[in-house]
């Protein structure tokens, strides 16, 4: 029974010791230790977060670089394409122009030829007329005696000259 | 670090046990010849109870013991003297006279003789009939051990705290490196899960002090030589006081919801509420009582088992019994090293749990 009967003296000393210990250790041990541990853990957490942020930034940078590179490549591609198109366009244009010019030249040459031809024909006609008049004059001069015969001859001559 | 300490402790303990057995064997013929007049038989239970109970004066070895101060609060005021004045007597035979009052030490309890009596007279149950107990605030073996643990704790933890202050990056060194995992364990495994992130900080000093106080005194109790070996944490007054402090803190930190759940459990039909209220109210007191008994019984039981095994040698009256009982006692002691840490953990963990329950808000 003694074993489970608490003694007042020990209760008193336990209370006193425990409270003194609690007070002193709280002030001189637990507070500084816990503060240090917390500060350290916080700094570790912060450092980890900073590293994570740096990593993310790095990733962003790399992604940006890649994007810019890709854009540049695409731009080059479009530029080349445009140049190629322009080249073919220019060639086509030049061909078209040359063709048009040639056609124009041909048509103007044809027109000139036609005009010349007409002029030649007209001249020919005039010459033929004058020749005919000369012939007629000569015929008239030399062969006015034979009036019927002459007339018949004129008619034959005229018929014989087919115009072209 | 931990394993080396453990190994050191283990080898220390086993070595000490062999030494102790040797001492006991050496001392026993002497004690036997002295006691042979009174008692022929070796009383194992008497030896065990003598060891696990408190005493005035600290027995070191053989006939050598350290005197401790006796402090008594009597009807006529404070009386102090050294326990050596009893001359190792605890059968009430040596009478110490101070300030006109007579005191005897009867089974490590100080009795004040009634006026006129010159020696203590006992009834058939060995209770004194002509003496009463004054309020005894003596520095007993247990109190001595507790004060020692107090000094040790102050030294160790202030050293640990200083090692943090000295370093630039809040890294501990020396003893601080050993205690930090334990402190972080108390914080992360005991305080935060049971009390919660919001409130735990307020309870950390109490929980840490409680944990290390119990643990250190448990360890002191395991070391079987002066100035340790006192069975302080196996004393009901010690465990009861700590449990009472836990109860008081629970009450002081309690919220309305704690009492509401106690006397008028919400969400239940009225007959059930009436039925639960007395149970819950009893539970409020049973919890600290369980704390008290758990620590007391575990530590006392450990001491009793080890002492019983050692006593086997004297009960069987052959040294050969030691070949079995000593290794077994060492084995139990090693288990006790584990048990004392677990008991300190359980006491602290349950205290934190009760605080957490008291702090619970309405949900």
Rg of chain B's alpha carbons, rounded to an integer?
Answer: 24
Residues 295-334 of B with CB under 8 A from A: 296, 300
With beta carbons under 8 A apart, name residues in chain B contacting A31.
205
Tell me how far apart the alpha carbons of residues B186 and B235 are, in angstroms, rounded to a whole number: 24
Q: Residues 143-162, chain B: which have Cβ within 8 Å of A?
A: 143, 146-147, 150, 153-154, 157-158, 160-161
Of B69, B101, B109, B105, the C-alpha closest to B88 is B105
Residue among B135, B157, B184 whose CB faces A8 most closely: B135
* pLDDT < 70: residue spans in chain A: 1, 143-144, 163-164
Cβ distance A29 to B52 less than 8 Å, yes or no, reads: no
Closest residue in chain B to residue A36, using alpha carbons only: B170
- Distance between CA atoms of residues B171 and A43, nearest Å: 12
Structure tokens at B198: 């919001």
Q: Are B81 and B96 in contact (CB under 8 A)?
A: yes
Q: Name every residue whose Cβ is closer than 8 Å to that of residue B272 and which is 6 or more positions away in sequence.
A: B265
The mean pLDDT value for B265-281 works out to 88
What is the dihedral angle through the alpha carbons of A140, A142, A145, A147, rounded to the nearest 10 degrees? -30
Q: Indicate the DSSP class of residue A40.
A: H
Whether residues A8 and B158 touch (CB distance < 8 A) is answered with no
pLDDT digits (tens, 9 = 90+) for A109-121: 999 999 999 998 8
Name the more confident of B76 and B30.
B76
Residue B238 with chain A: CB contacts under 8 Å: 10, 14
In chain B, DSSP finds a helix count (H) and a strand count (E) of 10, 9
Q: Which residues of A touch B211 (CB under 8 A)?
A: none
Name beta bridge partners: B66: B58
Of B107, B142, B209, the CB nearest to A25: B209
Helix/strand/coil percentages in chain B, nearest 5: 65, 10, 25
In 3D, which of B243, B277, B327, B308 has the Cα closest to residue B46? B308
Min Cα distance A17 → chain B (Å) is 7
Tell me whether residues B204 and A22 touch, CB distance under 8 A. Answer: no
Check residues A20 and B113 and name the one with the higher pLDDT: A20
Q: Which two tokens stand for residue B64?
A: 């050598």
Chain A residues in contact with B204 by the CB 8 A cut-off are: 30, 34
Indicate the average pLDDT of chain B.
84
B168 lies within 8 A of chain A by CB: no
Q: Which residues pair with B80 in a beta bridge?
A: B71
**Min Cα–Cα distance to chain A from B295, Å:** 12
d(CA B6, CA A86): 88
Hey, what's the torsion of the CAs at B184, B187, B190, B192, to 10 degrees? -140
Query: Around Cβ A143, how many Cβ atoms within 10 Å?
Result: 12
Confidence (pTM): 0.74
Question: Percentage of residues in chain B with pLDDT exceeding 70?
Answer: 88
pLDDT tens for each residue of A63-96: 999 999 999 999 999 999 999 999 999 999 999 9
Q: What is the mean pLDDT of residues B70-86?
A: 88
Min CA distance, A16 vs chain B (Å)? Answer: 10
Option in B150, B171, B240 nearest A17 (CB): B150
What CA–CA distance (Å, rounded) separates A119 from B363? Answer: 121
Task: Kindly state the average pLDDT of the residues B199-218.
Answer: 93
Q: Collapse the DSSP code of B132 into the 3-class scheme (helix H, G, I; strand E, B; otherwise coil) and give the result.
A: strand
Which tokens go with A99? Answer: 């063709």
Residue in A with minimal Cα distance to B137: A9
Which residues numbered 230-259 in B keep a CB inside 8 Å of some CB on A?
235-238, 240-242, 245
* Residue A13 is assigned to a structural domain of this protein: yes
Q: What is the pLDDT of residue B105?
A: 86
Distance, in Å, from the CA atom of B39 to the CA atom of A72, rounded to the nearest integer, reads 108
**Pick from B171, B181, B185, B178: nearest CA to B156:** B178
Q: Which of B143, B164, B242 sits opposite A33 (nearest CB)?
A: B164
Which residue of B46, B133, B157, B347 is the best one to mutate when testing the A interface, meaning the one whose CB has the most A CBs within 10 A? B157
Average pLDDT of the residues in B210-233: 90
Record: contact B52-A3, CB cut-off 8 A: yes
pLDDT the model gives residue A164: 59
DSSP for residue B75:
T
C-alpha distance from B163 to closest chain A C-alpha (Å): 9
**What pairs with residue B105 in β-bridges?**
B110
Biggest alpha carbon distance in chain A?
197
User: pLDDT averaged over chain A?
Assistant: 89
- What tokens appear for A117 in the block? 């031809």
Q: List all residues of chain B from 170 to 229 with a beta carbon under 8 Å from chain A.
A: 170-172, 176, 179-180, 183-184, 187, 201, 204-206, 208-209, 213
Interface test with A, best of B50, B83, B170 (most A CBs within 10 A): B170
SS3 A163: coil
CA B25 to chain A, closest CA, distance in angstroms equals: 27
Query: CB burial class (10 A; 0-12, 13-18, 19+) of residue B121?
Result: exposed
The alpha carbon of residue B267 is apart from the nearest alpha carbon of chain A, in Å, by: 40
Q: d(Cα B240, Cα B280) in Å, to the nearest integer?
A: 21
pLDDT higher for A140 or B311?
A: B311
The backbone torsions φ and ψ at residue B169, rounded to the nearest 5 degrees and listed phi first, read -110, 30
Best CA proximity match to B238, nearest among A24, A25, A21, A16: A16
Tokens at B6, concatenated = 């453990």
Residue B14's pLDDT band (cuts 50, 70, 90): low
Read off the pLDDT of residues B125-184 as tens digits, 9 standing for 90 and up: 778 888 888 899 999 999 999 999 999 999 999 999 888 888 877 788 888 888 899 999
The residue among A155, A110, A114 whose CA lies nearest residue A132 is A155
Domain boundaries in chain B?
69-138, 142-359
Task: Indicate yes or no: CB of B172 within 8 angstroms of CB of A36.
Answer: yes
In total, how many domains does chain A have? 1
Predicted complex: ipTM over 0.95: no
CA distance A57 to A110: 78
CB B236 within 8 A of CB B339: no
Both tokens of B363, joined, read: 């949900």
Specify the pLDDT at position A163. 67
- What is the token pair recorded at B166? 């000295």
Task: Give residue ranges of A with CB < 8 Å to any B CB.
Answer: 2-15, 17-18, 20-22, 24-26, 28-34, 36-37, 39-40, 43
**Is A25's CB within 8 Å of B169's CB?**
no
Question: How close A53 comes to chain B (CA, Å)?
Answer: 23
- Tokens encoding A71: 């854009």
């Amino acid at each position: 029974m003694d074993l489970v009967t608490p003694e007042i003296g020990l209760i008193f000393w336990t209370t006193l010791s425990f409270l003194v210990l609690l007070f002193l250790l709280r002030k001189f041990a637990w507070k500084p230790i816990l503060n240090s541990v917390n500060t350290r853990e916080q700094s570790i957490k912060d450092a980890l977060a900073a590293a994570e942020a740096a990593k993310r930034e790095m990733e962003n940078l790399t992604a940006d670089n890649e994007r810019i590179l890709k854009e540049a490549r695409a731009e080059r591609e479009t530029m080349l394409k445009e140049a190629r198109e322009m080249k073919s366009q220019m060639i086509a244009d030049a061909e078209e122009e040359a063709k048009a010019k040639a056609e124009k030249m041909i048509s103007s040459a044809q027109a000139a030829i036609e005009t010349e031809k007409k002029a030649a024909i007209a001249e020919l006609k005039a010459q033929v007329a004058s020749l005919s008049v000369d012939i007629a004059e000569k015929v008239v001069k030399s062969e006015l005696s034979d009036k019927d015969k002459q007339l018949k001859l004129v008619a034959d001559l005229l018929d014989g000259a087919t115009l072209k | 670090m931990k394993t080396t300490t453990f190994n050191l402790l283990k080898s220390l303990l086993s070595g000490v046990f062999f030494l102790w057995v040797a001492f006991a064997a050496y001392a026993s013929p002497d004690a036997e010849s002295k006691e042979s007049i009174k008692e022929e038989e070796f009383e194992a239970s008497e030896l065990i109870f003598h060891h696990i109970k408190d005493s005035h004066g600290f027995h070191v070895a053989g006939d050598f013991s350290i005197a401790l101060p006796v402090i008594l609060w009597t009807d006529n005021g404070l009386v102090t003297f050294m326990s050596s004045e009893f001359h190792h007597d605890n059968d009430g035979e040596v009478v110490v006279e101070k300030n006109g009052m007579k005191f005897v030490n009867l089974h490590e309890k100080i009795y004040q003789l009634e006026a006129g009596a010159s020696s203590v007279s006992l009834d058939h149950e060995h209770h004194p009939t002509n003496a009463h107990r004054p309020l005894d605030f003596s520095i007993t073996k247990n109190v001595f051990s507790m004060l020692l643990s107090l000094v040790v704790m102050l030294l160790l933890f202030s050293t640990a705290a200083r090692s943090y202050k000295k370093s630039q990056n809040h890294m501990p060194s020396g003893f601080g490196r050993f205690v930090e995992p334990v402190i972080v364990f108390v914080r992360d495994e005991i305080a935060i899960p049971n009390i919660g992130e919001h409130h735990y900080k307020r309870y950390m000093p109490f929980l840490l002090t409680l944990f290390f106080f119990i643990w250190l005194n448990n360890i002191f109790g395991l070391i079987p030589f002066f100035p340790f070996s006192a069975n302080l944490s196996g004393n009901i007054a010690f465990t009861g006081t700590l449990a009472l402090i836990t109860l008081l803190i629970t009450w002081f930190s309690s919220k309305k919801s704690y009492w509401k759940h106690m006397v008028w459990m919400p969400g239940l039909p009225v007959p059930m509420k009436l039925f639960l209220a007395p149970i819950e109210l009893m539970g409020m007191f049973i919890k600290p009582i369980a704390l008290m008994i758990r620590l007391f019984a575990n530590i006392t039981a450990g001491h009793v088992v080890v002492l019983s095994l050692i006593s086997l040698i004297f009960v069987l009256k052959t040294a050969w019994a030691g070949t079995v009982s000593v290794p077994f006692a060492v084995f139990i002691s090693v288990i006790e090293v584990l048990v004392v840490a677990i008991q300190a953990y359980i006491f602290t963990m349950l205290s934190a749990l009760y605080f957490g329950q008291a702090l619970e808000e309405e949900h």
